[in-house]
């Protein structure tokens, strides 16, 4: 067997890529898969953890919520973090936030965190409306090239949300949320 003595999560990155390439080639020859070039499609990402927290609320029952997700690619090809920020009623009906500021990031132990572009929406901040939706942004993809024993986690920082109707601003600089630490080994 090609991988006798294999322990899950311990094979090296080159072996995983060779195995994936061989499997794709065999399936393509059999007509079961059409090979594609370029980066992995979104469907390839596997959600590891989804964490949400209410940042604040107003006397009308409106809430500002921020979430952070961490994903990995099969065969340990990479990691990514994505945040989602939104307003809701207490019954979880989505509302149109009057403003949102947020920054998603991905962190690796022993290295500085890498952040995506700071997201801003809403007429409160002089931008287009946020809309009745979850505003999502992604941190840069972190390649899996770190030794075993290193950990990754997703983080969203400096979340500020302006609630509808009351125009109450919740959160702000220093408001953050993070996932647990994950290892590829």
Series of mean pLDDT values for 10-residue runs along the chain (185 residues): 36 44 42 36 78 97 97 81 96 95 93 92 94 91 76 95 96 95 81
- Can you give the pLDDT at residue 129? 92
**pTM for the whole thing?**
0.74
- Can you give the pLDDT at residue 33? 35
- Token duo for residue 18: 């060779």
Three-state DSSP class for 19?
A: helix
- Token duo for residue 1: 């067997």
Chain Cα centroid distance, residue 116: 10
- Can you give the pLDDT at residue 149? 74
SS3 content of the chain, % helix, strand, coil (to 5): 15, 40, 45
| Domain range annotation of the chain | 1-38, 42-178
| DSSP assigned state of 16 | H
């Amino acid at each position: 067997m090609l991988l006798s003595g294999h322990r899950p999560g311990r094979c090296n990155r080159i072996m995983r890529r060779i195995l994936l390439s061989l499997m794709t080639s065999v399936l393509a020859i059999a007509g079961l898969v059409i090979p594609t070039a370029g980066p992995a499609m979104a469907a390839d990402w596997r959600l590891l953890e989804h964490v949400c927290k209410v940042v604040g609320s107003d006397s009308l029952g409106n809430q500002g919520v921020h979430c952070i997700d961490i994903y990995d690619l099969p065969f340990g090809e990479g990691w990514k973090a994505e945040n989602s920020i939104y307003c809701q009623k207490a019954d979880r009906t989505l509302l149109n936030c009057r403003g949102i500021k947020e920054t998603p990031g991905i962190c690796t132990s022993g290295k500085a965190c890498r952040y995506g572009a700071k997201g801003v929406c809403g007429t409160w901040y002089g931008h287009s409306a946020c809309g009745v939706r979850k505003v999502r942004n992604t941190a840069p993809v972190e390649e899996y090239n770190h030794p075993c024993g290193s950990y990754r986690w997703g983080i969203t920082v400096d979340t500020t949300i302006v609630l509808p109707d009351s125009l109450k601003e919740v959160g702000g600089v220093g408001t953050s949320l993070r996932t647990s630490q994950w290892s590829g080994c």
